[in-house]
Amino acid sequence: MAQLNKNWVSHPNILEINTIPWLNELSEEYHEDIKLNTIPDEIIEKYLKNFNVVWLMGVWERSPTSKRIASEHLGLQEEFHKALDDFREDDIIGSPYAIHYYHIDTRLGGNKALVEFREKLAERNIKLMLDYVPNHVAIDHLWMLEKSNVFIQGTLEDLMMKPDEYFSKYGVIYAHGRDPNFPSWTDTVQINAFSPDARNKTINTLLLIAEQCDAVRCDMAMLLTNDIFKRTWKDKTGNPLEKEFWIEVILKVKEKYPDFKFIAEVYWDMEWDLIQQGFDFCYDKRLYDRIAAKDIKGIKDHLKADMSYQKKLVRFIENHDEQRSIKKLGEDYSKIAALLVLTLPGMGFLYEGQMKGYNIRVPVQLKRRPIEEINKDLFDYYKNLLSLISKRKIKSGNWELCEIIVFKDSNNHNLSDNIIAYHWWDFYNHFLIILNLSNTPSKGYIKIPSLQFNQKVILFEDMNTKENNFLHGEELNNYGYYAELLGWESNLFELRNL
């Protein structure tokens, strides 16, 4: 079964779920062993229905060797104890990024359970996304049984000089998977992106994945580009192939599944490179960093990029790799930042637990997480926001950044620097979103570049409070909309002619 619902919205919102801990938590709550196909409908209705995509992270069969290595790794042990006060060795299940086999983990119910869960999502027009790890597989993956050039190989000297980067198996010396800026992942073996055999295996694996879902998130996708791969592995690679890795792989998969989407985890300002190579969406780490740094000017400058780029970005304030947003940003800032990332062009991204105000980042090698109290106010905020975006179809049609006319106080201080405003519109609807990304009161005049109001009276309906403001078009044309916001405050307006 594949491609249950082919139509994609242009600017989807996605929820990432750390699947095994989530199901274990549901099993505790419902006092039964819950698999993907037995998730209660009320859970889907309460938590998932206002998303366009659900990403089940960590569904593939994990490596027993990865589990053993994690249990012996002192740095990971420290993280495990930090996340779980009552940590036990049997909490370790291995890394979801050291994949033993691309089969659905039996702890989730296997392939049949995924099929049934996907059908439930499709009934609600929700897409399903799964993982692919292109750079490496687990050191006990079945491909290791083959004598081929799928993997980067080393020499006896490499093994002796760099025992943390190379290992020996079946009489051959292989390289562990790595990012050039960090130590090797010692539970993995590095795939050779310049190997035709490796590319064929990648294509065949992704074709099998595309049978089971609507999109795939490709881990550390920039590591496979010709330039990065050659710089990382130098003379170990052989000669680059004629086509870039991703151009060849994505084209082959989309020949059979043209509506299947590729999402890249990407860093080092390489988003545009991977978009050019065929990715539908790429992580927007630059926006995340600027939000974290409270660099409002940098955020505004970033949002001035061309729409052809903006619509391809994945906007987030937390994921399984980053610190929980409420802990990093504080509750008030995290709320306004979430509003920003969920209403910008591109893919808005939430991580399961973010809505509940969870504080603890749980390592991906663990099967459970600590019990945390749900922040009801925060949960209601997210729930109302997601419902509003979904029901009003706010992210439809066209988008533009609005001009902020500077407002100064009697001491000549600029009171408008912290305001960001933008406009969504299609043939029928106009939405104006105004945010104060600071804890200080701000004010300014908002001019919408594409709108000429003429002599009409315009209704500004506040979608949160349901209050109505009536303004004359001539005044809006001459001065703009006057916005006055408290710290961390926002306005979400629907505009109508009267």
Element (H, E) at 405: strand 403-405
CA dihedral 437, 441, 443, 449 (to 10 degrees): 10
Could you tell me the sign of the dihedral formed by the alpha carbons of 225, 227, 233, 237, in that order? positive
Q: 314-355 pLDDT, tens per residue?
A: 999 999 999 999 999 999 999 999 999 999 999 999 999 999
Instruction: Check: CB of residue 68 under 8 Å from CB of residue 22.
Output: no
> What whole-number distance in Å separates Cα of residue 69 and Cα of residue 77?
11
For the record, the structure tokens of 232 come out as 């990382």
Q: Which amino acid is at 53?
A: V
Residues belonging to the chain: 498
In sequence order, which residues have a C-beta less than 8 Å from that of residue 282 and are 6 or more positions away? 221, 263, 264, 266, 271, 274, 275, 312, 313, 314
Strands (E), 176-231: 188-190, 215-218
The token pair that represents 292 in the structure block: 């974290």
Helix axes 331-343, 285-292, angle to 10 degrees: 150
Q: Which structural domains are found in the chain, ordered by start?
A: 13-392 (3.20.20.80), 398-497 (2.60.40.1180)
Q: Are 425 and 454 in contact (CB under 8 A)?
A: no
Give the model's pLDDT for residue 3. 46
Q: Are 20 and 58 in contact (CB under 8 A)?
A: yes
Position 117 scores a pLDDT of 98
Tokens 């010709």, located at residue:
226
The pTM assigned to this predicted structure is: 0.96
Q: From start to end of 225-371, where are the E strands?
A: 261-264, 281-283, 313-315, 347-351
C-alpha to C-alpha distance for 324 and 354, rounded to whole angstroms = 7
Nearest CA to 165 out of 176, 156, 152 is that of 176
Q: Is the CB of residue 153 less than 8 Å from the CB of residue 175?
A: yes
Coil, strand, or helix at residue 114? Answer: helix
The secondary structure of residue 457, as a DSSP letter, is E
d(CA 173, CA 183): 18
Residues of the chain with pLDDT under 50: 1-3
pLDDT at 4: 56
What separation in angstroms does the CA of 401 have from each of 305, 344, 420, 490?
10, 10, 8, 15
